[in-house]
Amino acid sequence: MDKKYSLIILFILNCLIFISGCLFVIYSIYFKINFKVINTEVSGVIVGLTVSYFSFRHFKKLSELKVELKKSGNNFSWYNFKKAKKGVL
């Protein structure tokens, strides 16, 4: 798959996650949804806002990734994912 299409898919998925977080905020307000977390009631609005916030934050990361991918010298390599050996950074 081309880098361009992969990036488009990531943007679409991020938009869907952001929209679902916003819709959950509205749903939680309308139906007064609460979650019990360690004997404390947490509003569903907080959960929806957290999902929306992290998704919104990833828009910036995806745009930085887009700039990095457009550079001509960058190629995919499995060596980028291997753990460093002990004593070597």
Give a yes or no: residue 77 inside a domain. Answer: no
pTM: 0.75
Reported as a single tens digit per residue, the pLDDT across 13-29 is 999 999 999 999 999 99
> What is the per-residue pLDDT across 73-86, written as a single tens digit (0 to 9) for each?
666 666 766 666 66
* Residue 87 within a domain: no
Question: Does 23 fall in a domain?
Answer: yes
Domain count, the chain: 1
If phi over 0 gives left and psi between -120 and 50 gives alpha, with beta otherwise, what is residue 21?
Answer: alpha
Q: Which residues, in sequence order, are CB contacts of 41 under 8 Å at separation 6+?
A: 34, 35
Has residue 47 been placed in a domain?
yes
Coil/strand/helix, residue 88:
coil
How far does CA 32 lie from the centroid of its chain?
26
